Chain A
Amino acid sequence: MSTRARKATGITLFWRILWARAYPRIVGAWREKDWLFFETVVPLGTTAGFVFVYRAAGAPPEFAGFAVLGGAMTAFWLNVLWAMGSQLYWDKDGGNLELYVLSPGPLMAILVGMAVGGIFMASVRAVTVIVVASLLFNISYQVSSLPLLILVFLVTMAALYGLGMIFASVFLASGREAWHLANLLQEPIYLVSGFYFPVSALGFWVATFASVIPLTLGMDAIRQIIFSTQSNIGFLPVETELILLCFLAVILLALAWYSLRKLEEIGRRDGRLIERRR
């Protein structure tokens, strides 16, 4: 071991940390296949339930598509709550957080890596739900613009996982309460963000407030793009929603960066980063 290790700094370091932290999630999605089975059965069951509800109520066939889209998108929301929000807390428990902090790169790189890995994991689940449910229920999509769909999805993910990173700091600071907090944000967000129906049904103000959760506008835009023959289902025009989502992404990511810095500051001051240790 005679030669000294060359260590990257700046953007290169950020990039290397990001992919290193994403790696366990990307690999894990394939290595733990049985989890994948269990994790897709639940949303598939729920999705099918909502599809049948629409059918029982005599809704037009497109509505089943809304339920399928919502069922698929729950993967991302659950991922943000449980695999982003609660992750630093678990990492502290396992001893990884200390090592993240100790390494020379920014904690933000770790969180972006977690997010990239998380998006991959959740996408595997979401795609499985969409494909299986669409085949089962014979859902057809009329996509108005594929590039626009991809753009909206990516911006939504940036904003959503920015929110997830804020949760990570907040949950870590709130300790054991985090578990309940994550639970509290599950079904109520499915409701106000309009996972299973067009969010405009909740009225302007509820939809506006719910837009703090990026999935509200993101899903509304996606719904309008992939069910383009349906008129009057959108809360706002897709272009407006895209612009708002861009703003949200910037604000939430900036807040995430700030809250992480605060977390580390408070953690170092109060000893919270290490309190589990001997």
Chain B
Amino acid sequence: MAMMSRIFASPAVRRSPALRSLLSGLWLGWQIETNWANPIVFITYFIARPVASLTILVVMYSVIAQDILGTPFFAYVYLGGALYLLAGQIVVGVSWVVIEDREHYRVAKQIYTAPVNSYAYLLGRGIARFAVSVLSVSITIPLGVLVFRLPVTWSAIDFPLLIVSTLLGLIAMAALGVIIGSYTYQITRQAFSVGDTLNGVFYLLTGAVFPIELLPEVLRPLGYLLPSTYWLELARRALIPQPVAFQAISSLNTETLLAILAGMAVVFAVLSVVVFIWSMRLAKERGVLDVETNY
């Protein structure tokens, strides 16, 4: 708290309303998401559910073939499943934040009438969800190494690639999150389902647990439009640089993937600002900014 006060008091933050809003969203999001006064909450959301989901995949494979653990294919699936949690959190997280603020905490009115940059605030809240999920992944991946012979070794990890791709992925995915969040402003009754529905659809399209080439041809282009597709593949290649035996997008090399992700970060960032401004204006016109569904 004392550190946060110092950060908020620093000249750079005081000069920039956008930065202040981003940090406020980040700080608030972190406070909400890390509400671990109750251990059952932490265990449920950050250990039990993700570990169970991953173990389902593990068992599915072991049903088909003996001794599949430790293979590159298994590593692909396990890492994809574990890392998708991060992607899903940020892509649909902003839409959850919109609903939470509007219908659960009922503070939408106060936020949008306060002198904050709403775009930066939402981005901050989304990034907080991502950051919290990192904790979960830092449990599920070592668990995979220890229990399921996941071939990740600390010394072999390509950290520069991991960091660069994650930063680019974060920008692109957070921007996509804001675009979806902007859409959430416009809907009321089904707002609660949008996040879950898109999370399920993206999981399918992005090739998290199976190569995207397996998708029917009509769906494949949608997968290629998602930044998470490239980030997941790059993160996997960073965590297990050798051998590159099983890849989602085997036809493209790492540099090309990075370039595509960088391009996407730019395009989605610009697009998200445009869509957000348009959506806020429309929401104000329609009077749905602080609507409550009363479910």
The reply to whether A and B meet directly (CB within 8 Å) is yes
Q: Which residues of A approach B to under 8 Å, CB–CB? A: 34-35, 38-39, 41-43, 45-46, 48-50, 52-59, 63, 177, 180-181, 183-184, 186-188, 190-191, 195-198, 201-202
Q: Is the CB of B203 within 8 A of A49?
A: yes
Would you give the 0/1 interface string for B189-215, flagging 1 where the beta carbon is closer than 8 Å to chain A? 110011011001101100011110011
User: Judging by beta carbons under 8 Å apart, are B200 and A45 in contact?
Assistant: yes
Q: Return B95 CB to nearest CB of chain A, in Å.
A: 13
Q: Which of A42, A50, A52, A187 is within 8 Å of B196, CB to CB? A: A42
Q: Is the pair A197, B59 in contact by a Cβ cutoff of 8 Å?
A: yes
Residues on B with C-beta less than 8 A from A183 are 44-45, 49
Point out which of B53, B65, B77 has the most chain A C-beta atoms below 10 A from its C-beta: B53
Q: B residues 155-211 with Cβ under 8 Å of A?
A: 189-190, 193-194, 196-197, 200-201, 203-204, 208-211
**B193 touching A39, Cβ below 8 Å:** yes
Q: Does B37 make an interface contact (CB < 8 A)? A: no
Contact present for B44 and A45 (CB under 8 Å): no
Interface size class of B (residues with CB under 8 A): 35 or more
Contact of A180 among B38, B197, B209 (CB under 8 A): B38
Show the binding face of B for A, using Cβ within 8 Å: 38, 40-41, 43-45, 48-50, 52-53, 55-57, 59-65, 68, 73, 77, 189-190, 193-194, 196-197, 200-201, 203-204, 208-211, 214-215
Query: Which residue of chain A has its CB nearest to the CB of B55?
Result: A191
Which residues of the other chain, A, contact B210 by a CB distance below 8 angstroms?
Answer: 49, 52-53, 55-56
Contact B63 A49 (CB under 8 A): no
B63-A191 in contact (CB<8A): no
Contact yes or no, A49 B209, CB < 8 A: yes
Task: Report Cα–Cα, A45/B197, bound state, in Å.
Answer: 8
A selection of 26 A-B contacts at a CB cut-off of 8 Å is A38-B193, A38-B197, A45-B197, A45-B203, A49-B203, A49-B210, A52-B214, A52-B215, A53-B209, A54-B64, A55-B210, A56-B211, A57-B73, A177-B38, A177-B40, A180-B44, A183-B44, A184-B44, A187-B49, A188-B49, A190-B52, A191-B56, A196-B60, A197-B56, A197-B59, A197-B63
Residues in B neighbouring A197, C-beta threshold 8 A: 56, 59-60, 63
Contact of B57 among A35, A53, A59, A180 (CB under 8 A): A53
| Beta-carbon contact of A53 and B48 below 8 Å | no
Q: Collect the chain B residues with CB atoms within 8 Å of residue A35's CB.
A: 190, 193
